Structure 1
Amino acid sequence: MLVAVLAAGIALYITAHIALIILSPKPMTPTAEEKTFLSASSPTKPQPLPSLSDPASVQLSVVVPAYNESTRLPPMLRTTLAHLASVRPARTYEVLIVDDGSSDSTSAVALTLASAHPKEDIRVVRLRRNRGKGAAVKHGFLHARGERILMVDADGASRFEDLEKLWEEMDKIEKDGQGVVVGSRAHLVGTEAVVKRSLVRNILMHGFHFLLRTFGVGHIRDTQCGFKLFTRTTSQSLFPSLHITNWIFDVELLLLARMLRVPVAEVPVAWEEVAGSKIRLLWDSLGMLTDLIVIRGNYALGRWRPVSVGAGKKVD
């Protein structure tokens, strides 16, 4: 009997490993072209991107993943630049727009916006093919120059002025250069802002929160708000380890932060739904469930571990 149980356990373990190997995203190495950027000062000649391993050269990097966002990006960027220019005392900053292999004119629009604001440090990076939001965010962070790095969606759904709430909270929780502050919409549940938003988003929200609790990763009330601030040191610890390339990459980041005992705070932010969501109800719900299983399984079985980034070591 004991032998049979042991054999069944071994078979289950092997089966789980095989399933995880099949379902897990494959590592993607950036091409030489993807490690370059265009800007107002160099609109046609690509310039090499820096590495997250380099010393910071600005106080803030704003990383904007963009997939077919030629319409929603301009108003979002105008709001972003207006706020950054209004902050006193002034901060040095860059805006890094990562075009995730768009099939529309996102890159061209981004470069036009950069040219229209030549005094701003706006860099445009294009991935050769669509890799997923997580991959685009990771690519931006691995080549950001800021002491603090903000991820923000291109749709403008989050109020950019709330960056100051995240910044103040980071000042409170940062310890030994480590910290993550999560913009949260949890306070909006039950309010008109959520009750009146699309059925698709509400179904995804409630279903996803149930899954997070079921899989034991519900310690953050809103993991999916695309408005999060990281210190550079924390980014160096988390992003080289990130595997998930699709919608729930945030969950893996927060799990890694928990594993590494990084201070994490959640701050309420304003949010409103903006037309043009890329979420597909059926397929993305199934994809989120699969990715949750993949995340938990890989870390539980030790296939995935946090990557230790040594001083001076380059990360791509």
Structure 2
Amino acid sequence: MLPSLDVVIPVHNEEIDLEPCVRRLHEYLRAEFPYRFRITIADNASTDSTAEVAARLAEVLPGVTAVHLTEKGRGRALKFVWTHSDAAVLAYMDVDLSTDLGALLPLVAPLISGHSDLAIGTRLARGSRVVRGAKREFISRSYNLILRGTLAARFSDAQCGFKAIRADVAGRLLPMVEDTGWFFDTELLVLAERAGLRIHEVPVDWVDDPDSRVDIVATALADLRGIARLTRALGTGRLPLGALHEQLGRNPLPVAGVPAGLTGQLLRFAAVGVASTLAYLLLYALLRTGAGPQAANLVALLVTAVANTAANRRLTFRVRGHDGAWRHQAQGLVVFAVGLGLTSGSLALLHTLSDPPTSVELGVLIAANLVATGVRFLLMRIWVFRATQPVAAARAAEVNASAPTVGIR
């Protein structure tokens, strides 16, 4: 019978800690875990006797297997074992067992039931109990703040060595993960979050291992390089996250009387609109010093309209790739013409009535832009990007209807 859970222990030169770790984990799973399990020791290029210890444990402990890789890298080891595993849920934990094993069942239960797609232990959530030095605490919190600022990550703890993923999700997500080292976890979580997958977080009890041999400086530099690479990849749209979202992503809950996705689109459109309006006003004020009001309005509105259409295409309506980009920009210019008519008409009417100061001009333009913004959203939703929404919804419904159910085997 196939296991429900495969727990991977990635190791490199851990000949001393490996045996007590595996024996303790095996005893806990045998006594406390209600599902069939496997423990896989993933030795990545150890130069000491780690491979021999792993092989001996695999011989004497039922449900323990050993894998030896000739190349170093925790991410490489996890990706290899997870890709070849036949278990329904895949997990890993660090060899030092810093995380209390009592969190293992709460970690994997939502994945076994199908409620969630990934699960992580977190040392930074309310309810977690952590014992570690101030230096590691500062580094961990700083790293997660960087992730929030650069990659808009919403999960609380990327680095805790206590994670799990459903096998069907891993099969689609792992081919996109490039890192083979310590950044593997972060990249996996960011891609999962961007694809609309559900990440379950479990507050853990965690005690720092004083003998940890992780090179903090080298790991931090590698993480920063990974953040830069992933930011570029997400910015260029070369990762097929849209297709993954259609296959596995969690669609918004339907609300009676509200079209699907409308609330999120309004919020994203508003954010883009605020940025566009500020850019427009800045450009208008700069151009107005050397040009008339109509010319300044035309140039400022044209420049920001092109940028606005591109931003709404990608951020508000989630359109990826270059297909239809020129058509969308052409339609966006028609929407721009509507906005130009509203703002230029307001200016023309204002100047026929009086010779107002610049501050009054700006006030009238703000009011006209608010009206133009509402019209722009309606036109973009029902005309410019209308074709992209029902297609995505239909694909998602088709995939959900044919997707297999993860069960316990």
TM-score (norm 2): 0.55
1:187 matches 2:125: yes
Q: Give the one of 201, 205, 208 matched to 1:266.
A: 201
In structure 1, how many angstroms separate the alpha carbons of the residues matched to 2:218 and 2:234? 24
In structure 1, how many angstroms separate the alpha carbons of the residues matched to 2:81 and 2:137? 29
* SS of equivalent residue, structure 1 residue 126: strand
* SS of equivalent residue, structure 2 residue 165: strand
Shift, 1:210, TM fit: 2.6
2:23 equivalent in structure 1: 78
Q: State the Cα deviation string for residues 288-310 of structure 1 (Å, max 9, x = none).
A: 11111111111221333358699
2:214 equivalent in structure 1: 279
Q: Give the one of 143, 151, 164 matched to 1:216.
A: 151
Q: Is the alpha carbon distance of 1:134 and 1:88 closer, same or farther for their aligned partners in structure 2, counting shifts above 3 Å?
A: closer
Segments of 5+ residues of structure 2 without an aligned counterpart are: 248-398, 404-409
Q: State the Cα deviation string for residues 193-228 of structure 1 (Å, max 9, x = none).
A: 13xx263x2342133123112213330111111111
**Which 4+ stretches in 1 moved above 6 angstroms?**
188-192, 307-311
* SS of equivalent residue, structure 2 residue 131: helix
Q: Which has the higher contact order (CA 8 A, sep 6+)?
A: 1
Shift, 1:74, TM fit: 1.5
1:129 matches 2:71: yes
For the 8 Å contact 1:142–1:240, the answer to whether it is kept is no
Which structure is larger by alpha-carbon Rg, 1 or 2?
2
For the 8 Å contact 2:128–2:205, the answer to whether it is kept is no
* SS of equivalent residue, structure 1 residue 84: helix
1:58 equivalent in structure 2: 3
Aligned-residue RMSD, C-alpha: 2.6
1:254 equivalent in structure 2: 189
2:309 equivalent in structure 1: none
Shift, 1:272, TM fit: 0.9
Q: Is the alpha carbon distance of 1:188 and 1:277 closer, same or farther for their aligned partners in structure 2, counting shifts above 3 Å?
A: farther
Q: State the Cα deviation string for residues 32-78 of structure 1 (Å, max 9, x = none).
A: xxxxxxxxxxxxxxxxxxxxxxxx92211111111111112122111
Range with bigger deviation, 302-311 or 60-69:
302-311
For the 8 Å contact 1:247–1:288, the answer to whether it is kept is yes
Q: Give the one of 72, 91, 94 matched to 1:150.
A: 91
* SS of equivalent residue, structure 1 residue 102: coil
TM-score (norm 1): 0.71
Over the matched positions of the two proteins, sequence identity in percent amounts to 26
